[in-house]
């Protein structure tokens, strides 16, 4: 279970989406019939937030930038060759 102030990621977008997904999963498995159905594949789950999270992560992986650079750019830093 994910507490509200648990550390997930430096990436606020990922943190927000993971919290929504965790909340949706908790709600889904409150139903005793859903628990009997067993685990689900997040990649096949018809949930827009999950699909957005997967797309975002795949995009960030494709960028192949180090995490420090992603965070720095998010806060206004630009690489010297783009100034």
Q: Where are the domains of the chain?
A: 12-82
Per residue in 16-55, pLDDT (tens digit) is 999 999 898 888 878 777 667 777 777 888 888 889 998 9
Distance CA 70, CA 60 (A): 9
Query: Which comes out higher in pLDDT, residue 72 or 81?
Result: 72
Left if phi > 0, otherwise alpha if psi is -120 to 50, otherwise beta: which for 36?
A: alpha
**24-33 contacts at long range (C-beta below 8 A, 24 or more positions apart):** 24/49, 24/50, 26/1
pTM, two decimal places: 0.60
């Amino acid at each position: 279970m994910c507490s509200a102030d648990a550390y997930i990621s430096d990436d606020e977008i990922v943190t927000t989406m993971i919290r929504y997904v965790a909340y949706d999963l908790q709600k889904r498995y409150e139903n005793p019939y859903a628990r009997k159905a067993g685990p689900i594949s997040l990649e096949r789950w018809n949930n827009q937030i999950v699909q957005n999270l997967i797309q975002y992560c795949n995009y960030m992986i494709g960028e192949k930038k180090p995490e420090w650079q992603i965070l720095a750019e998010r806060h206004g830093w630009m690489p010297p060759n783009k100034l």
